Structure 1
Amino acid sequence: MSLRTALVRLGIAAAGGALVVAGASPALASGATGAGDDRGHHQGHHPKFYKGVVTAPGGLNLRDKPTRGSTFLGLLPYGTTVKIFCKTSGENVKGNSLWYLLADGTWAWGTARFIDNIGPVPRWC
C-alpha cells in the first residue's frame, strides 16, 4: 500500500469516527449533563427537555428520521407524557411539518401533529 493510500484511509477513518461521536446523542453534542435537568431559561440557557402529551388516538409512531417512511422504532400510547429535546422541519403530516426529537429512553422522532406542548414551545435543533 502506498503512503498516499494509507493517509487517505486514515483520514476517512478519522472523519468517520468524528461523525459517530458527533451523532451519538444530541444531549452529548449540546453539553447537557444529567437526565431530567429542567432548569428553565436563565443565563441564556434553554431547559434540557420540554414536555408534551401524545394526542394520536391510536398512539404515536416513533421514527429514526423526521419522515413517515423512515424506520419505525416504536409506539407511544395516547396520553403519554413525553420529553422533547428539540424540533425540526420534516415531512408534512396533516398540515404540520414540525417533528420533535423525543428523549424517552430512545432518541426518536415523533410528528408534532400528534404531540401537544405542555409549557414552552421546544427550541430548534
Structure 2
Amino acid sequence: MSLTIRLGTGVAAAAALVAASALPAVAQSSTPGGDKPPVYKGRVIAKSGLLLRDAPARGAKVVRSEPYHAIVPIFCKTSGDSVGGNSYWYLLTDGTWAWGSAKYIANIGAVPRWC
C-alpha cells in the first residue's frame, strides 16, 4: 500500500514538473520575497549578427554584438528609433545591459513587458 502512495506522489510530482516546463520561458526570481521582474528570452534572427547599443537608438554607441541564432535574455521593451519599420527595442540582461532592436530578435515564449 505505501509503495502505491509513493509511486502516486512521484507521478504527481513529475506531472507538475512537466506542466511547469510548458510555461513561457521566464527566469525565476533570486531576490528575497520574489520581487524581481521576470527575464524573457529571444533568438537573434539577424543573419549577420546583432549590434547591441547603450541606448535604444540606431546612432547609439555599440557596446557588443550577438551572433545569428544566439539566445538572449530580455529584461523589458521600450520604444526607440525605428529599424525596418519596427520601433521596439529590447533591453538585454546578460551581464552587460545593452539594447537590441526587436526587429532582429524573435521572442521565445511571452512578449517582454514594458520598461
Match of 2:60 among 43, 60, 70: 70
Secondary structure, in 3 states, of the residue corresponding to 1:86? strand
Structure 2 counterparts to residues 95-106 of structure 1, below 5 A:
95-106=85-96
**Aligned residue among 103, 110, 115 for 1:113:** 103
How far has the Cα of 1:73 moved from its partner?
0.3
CA distance in 1, matches of 2:56, 2:108: 21
Amino acid paired to 1:82: V
Structure 2 match to 1:94: 84
Post-superposition Cα deviations, 1:38-87, rounded to whole Å, max 9, x if no partner, equal 36xxxxx7852000000001001000000010011011000000000000
Pairs aligned (count): 85
TM-score normalized with structure 1 length: 0.64
Residue number in structure 1 paired with 2:39: 49
- Alpha-carbon distance in structure 1 between the residues aligned to 2:67 and 2:27: 24
Distance 2:97 2:82 in 1: 20
Cα deviation digits, residues 1-59 of structure 1 (max 9, x gap) = xxxxxxxxxxxxxxxxxxxxxxxxxxxxxxxxxxx8436xxxxx785200000000100
Gaps of 5+ in 2: 1-25, 30-34
Letter in 1 for 2:103: R
CA distance in 2, matches of 1:64, 1:47: 21
* RMSD after superposition: 1.8
2:77–2:114 contact (8 Å) kept in structure 1: yes
Which fold has the larger relative contact order, with Cα–Cα distance below 8 Å and residues 6 or more apart in sequence?
Answer: 2
